[in-house]
Structure 1
Amino acid sequence: MKKLLTVLAFLIIIQFSFAQETTVGERVIKNAKDKTYGRGEQKGDETVDKTLNKVEEKITNLFKKKEKKKKETEQQQDSSEQSTDVNQESKPQSSSSKKPVKSNSKFDFEAGEKELYFDNFNRLSIGDFPAEFNTNASGEIVNVDGQSGKWLSMTKNGAFIPDNIKKLPENFTLEFEVGINADPTNNYPGLGLNFTTEPDNLMLERFFSKGISVIYLHPGAATCSVQIIPSSGSEINNEIKMPQWDTSQDNNFVKVSLWRQNGRLRVYVNEDKLVDMPRFFTESKAYDFAFFRSFFKECEVYLTNIRYAVAGADTRNKLITEGKFVTNGILFDVNSDNIKPESGTVLKEIATTLQENPTVRVKIIGHTDSDGADAANLSLSQKRAAAVKTALSSFYGIDGSRLETDGKGESQPLNKNATSAEKAQNRRVEFIKL
């Protein structure tokens, strides 16, 4: 009996000391049985075995309860994480979610109609550097994971000067898409947009001479900085928050739009206006332009879909007085009739014209470039014209009976469709007064 009490005391101690995991508990029971049978007499085997079996059952149940509680906790955590994921997915994404094409006061950008230069680098082979750019750094054409098309990867700090963007007119727009593949830290200025009246200064950075105005976009610091050094007068330095391009929030790719009207410059990132400076261009001489890469940490900065244009004639005047208005400012997703949000300004102008002239009826005609099959392009152009009609009716209240649609596909090109710029000109929407 004394041995039996000793065994029970020993098992109780083991029960509370080793009740952590099921495998541990099972090992404790086995060891206890082995030691007890080795020391006990044959006569007490049956009694000891029954006692051990009861203790084993209690230990097993104890671990089952712990395991059940652990699984319930993990399930609650999984449920919580799934709920968080759902909430995150329900938030609108800046770069991929469909957004209304209705114009609003925050995004008043209007792309220039007369396109002077467009480049998406599709004509180039991977690994090449575009001959139309001058640089004191280095780069190459690449594909980017998760992004469509080809991109110019600016791999080293320095200037990247597009030869086709020179002697800027007093009214122009410049659009491009830009991205970065890593957090560059908040050191160094960032991506510079260098406007200067001295072409020899296009390769310079930081130590600028007079007659220069610079915009710096820094995704590591999530800021937009402005520096103006006029030939006479005081310098201007300003810094603005830029959450749209912020690597700490995984916002690595954005669209940037610039709009000059005489001395004024407006800068938009995605659909948000960050800069509106009436005296950004201070000099009477013509400005030249360069991109400038200035990042501290190793990273790749990507650039594509560069579009440079001057503003066209007044929309209302041309449609009503000339009976026809053609625009490249209504943009669509690739091979799709989904209208991009930045088209809202042009659509608003068309809608206002029709609202102020309630008896006017128009035909909306879609046109494509020559890429792809003829039949597919014809169908796409018809769908895009229908999408414009839907937008004018749904968002601006234009009576659908005043709008007819048609599509010409690639059958009426304005040029030979030989270059990316020519193809961009052919991707257009035409409004004909009936």
Structure 2
Amino acid sequence: MVINVAFKVRGIGLSSFFGAMLAISATAQIRVEDPKKTTERSVEGRVNSRIDQGINKGLDKVEEGIGNIFKKRPRTPNGGKNKQTTDGQDAQSEEQPEKDELKTSKQTPPSGAGGLAMKAYSKFDFVPGEKIVATEDFSQDAVGDFPAKWNTNASGEVVTMEGAKFLQFAKSGVYYPEFVKELPENFTMEFDMLASEDLSVNMSGLKVFFPEFKERKLTFDQNFNSSAQAGIDIHPTADGESSSSSVWVFDKNSEKVVENTNRLAWKSNVANRVSIWKQKTRLRIYVNETKIWDLPKAFDSSLKYSMLFATSIFEGTVYLANLRVAVGAPDTRSKLITEGKFSTTGILFDVNSDKIKPESYGVLKELGTVLKENATVKVRIIGHTDSDGEDAKNLDLSKRRAASVKNALQTEFGIEAARMETDGKGESQPVAPNTTAEGKANNRRVEFVKL
């Protein structure tokens, strides 16, 4: 029996596996090339010859061990009216049991305000744009396929890890979502990024470019020699300590006017949240709770920009999930105090839960500041959901989420409970059709009404 298992895994218990496999009277050569690839893929294509039932059982043990790298839990069958998720914030069937999620922090906060994980974001000032214009969680794509709404000059495939779908990029190529066109002067972009432990320390990780819209094409120069653009290179390492990020800016004369590299605050073995914020000429970039770049003159206000991704990797793999693009420059103070109403999709919650995600800190901080500066103002906090799931459960969830926001403003920012009342409307007051992912994402919101 010849077994060639090409992967690097900690704590799988290979000795027991080898003993079981040696008892099988067959000959096969097994090669598992990437420990972080999904275990939901067919066994076909991973073995070089036809194998019997005993070999299949052996492969199951290998896959089971590989899945443990990400601590994968058993999936629970979906229920409700819609079995897919849209932007990764919520499972869109509000009545289904809580699904597996990729953690964005090794800490697990208590229910409600977010506890220790929320406090880690105390300097996080990212505020998402007001209107979501594009979301992508690859729910419409089959595992193993390149996403139908994307384009590339290379390859790639959708894989499943920890209950979420990721786009696994090829080692070298250019990629972009065709549904994201010309970007406005004010926008935010967020996505989850995961890197394999064997990612090369000598080559790049994931590049995010903002080229002129007319220059966005699959022949884009990945060596940064091009017309007007801004871009970053996110390069994680397995230990996290030597991770780095580079940034560059070219003006419309193709002259490089900004170039720099610094340390990247990267959490290993979990999905890291990348948040990008453009305000006219300014570019801010965050990884998890840390702001790593704040460039006041990254963009030319006379030009129109778009976006694309690129890879150039010697060894290892990078993955992307839960892309979210929103437009608009939030003006919390004016809308709440002057107009009497403020609505935000930037307060995020765990799946089917009232537990606030720590990356919501920037929005909550803005609201807390406004309420502190206007000490006589009282507000009603109203939760809203999309139309997926049972009406009664959506209504209950929206009420609990509103109460959780009140609790966060009270405990984290010292706003008196007597100044806040809460309510929930469930799915009854949509602001967009519930027929698209973007519409549903805009309907999942928290509204603040001045009393």
TM-score range for the pair, normalised by the shorter chain length: 0.7 to 0.9
In structure 1, stretches of 5+ residues that fail to align are 1-91
2:415 matched to 1:398? Answer: yes
Judging changes above 3 Å, is the alpha-carbon distance between structure 1 residues 207 and 328 closer, same or farther for their aligned structure 2 residues? Answer: closer
Q: Cα distance, 1:207 vs. partner?
A: 5.6
Contact 1:194–1:202, Cα closer than 8 Å, also in 2: no
What is the TM-score normalised by the length of structure 1? 0.72
Partner of 1:27 in structure 2?
none
Contact 2:208–2:308, Cα closer than 8 Å, also in 1: yes
Query: What is the alpha-carbon distance in structure 1 between the residues aligned to residue 265 and residue 403 of structure 2?
Result: 35
Deviation by residue 1:58-86 (Cα, 9 ceiling, x = unmatched): xxxxxxxxxxxxxxxxxxxxxxxxxxxxx
Q: Cα distance, 1:312 vs. partner?
A: 4.1
Q: How does 1:79-94 map to 2 (within 5 A)?
A: 94=105
2:251 matched to 1:230? Answer: yes
Q: 1 or 2, which has the higher helix percentage?
A: 1
The DSSP-based 3-state class of the residue aligned with 1:395 is: helix
Query: What is the alpha-carbon distance in structure 2 between the residues aligned to residue 300 and residue 372 of structure 1?
Result: 36
Judging changes above 3 Å, is the alpha-carbon distance between structure 1 residues 315 and 157 closer, same or farther for their aligned structure 2 residues? Answer: same
Judging changes above 3 Å, is the alpha-carbon distance between structure 1 residues 252 and 357 closer, same or farther for their aligned structure 2 residues? Answer: closer
- Aligned residue among 108, 123, 127 for 1:97: 108
Number of positions where the alignment pairs a residue of Structure 1 with one of Structure 2: 336
Q: Cα distance, 1:392 vs. partner?
A: 1.1
Greater mean deviation of Cα atoms: 347-356 or 132-141? 347-356
The DSSP-based 3-state class of the residue aligned with 2:127 is: coil
The DSSP-based 3-state class of the residue aligned with 1:288 is: coil
Judging changes above 3 Å, is the alpha-carbon distance between structure 1 residues 207 and 113 closer, same or farther for their aligned structure 2 residues? Answer: closer
- Aligned residue among 237, 261, 272 for 1:239: 261
Partner of 2:337 in structure 1?
320
Contact 2:378–2:419, Cα closer than 8 Å, also in 1: yes
Contact 2:431–2:443, Cα closer than 8 Å, also in 1: yes
The DSSP-based 3-state class of the residue aligned with 1:152 is: strand
- Aligned residue among 204, 211, 220 for 1:196: 211
Q: Superposition RMSD on alpha carbons, in Å?
A: 2.3
Q: Which amino acid aligns with 1:302?
A: Y
Q: How does 1:183-222 map to 2 (within 5 A)?
A: 183-197=198-212, 198-200=215-217, 203-206=220-223, 208-220=225-237, 222=243
Contact 2:186–2:329, Cα closer than 8 Å, also in 1: no
Partner of 1:255 in structure 2?
273
Judging changes above 3 Å, is the alpha-carbon distance between structure 1 residues 322 and 296 closer, same or farther for their aligned structure 2 residues? Answer: same
2:294 matched to 1:272? Answer: no
Partner of 1:135 in structure 2?
152
Partner of 1:336 in structure 2?
353
Judging changes above 3 Å, is the alpha-carbon distance between structure 1 residues 202 and 225 closer, same or farther for their aligned structure 2 residues? Answer: farther
Query: What is the alpha-carbon distance in structure 2 between the residues aligned to residue 244 and residue 107 of structure 1?
Result: 15
Q: Which amino acid aligns with 1:256?
A: V
Query: What is the alpha-carbon distance in structure 2 between the residues aligned to residue 375 and residue 123 of structure 1?
Result: 27
What is the TM-score normalised by the length of structure 2? 0.70
Contact 2:216–2:308, Cα closer than 8 Å, also in 1: no
- Aligned residue among 392, 396, 400 for 1:383: 400
Partner of 2:307 in structure 1?
289
Query: What is the alpha-carbon distance in structure 2 between the residues aligned to residue 118 and residue 192 of structure 1?
Result: 19
Query: What is the alpha-carbon distance in structure 1 between the residues aligned to residue 264 and residue 120 of structure 2?
Result: 22
Q: Which amino acid aligns with 1:277?
A: L
Q: How does 1:360-375 map to 2 (within 5 A)?
A: 360-375=377-392
Partner of 2:180 in structure 1?
165
Judging changes above 3 Å, is the alpha-carbon distance between structure 1 residues 104 and 185 closer, same or farther for their aligned structure 2 residues? Answer: closer
Query: What is the alpha-carbon distance in structure 2 between the residues aligned to residue 229 and residue 320 of structure 1?
Result: 40
Q: Cα distance, 1:238 vs. partner?
A: 0.9
Rg (Cα) greater in structure:
1
The DSSP-based 3-state class of the residue aligned with 2:447 is: strand
Greater mean deviation of Cα atoms: 368-377 or 397-406? 368-377
2:165 matched to 1:150? Answer: yes
Q: Which amino acid aligns with 1:292?
A: A
- Aligned residue among 369, 382, 401 for 1:352: 369
Q: Which amino acid aligns with 2:388?
A: D
The DSSP-based 3-state class of the residue aligned with 1:188 is: coil
Query: What is the alpha-carbon distance in structure 2 between the residues aligned to residue 93 and residue 179 of structure 1?
Result: 10
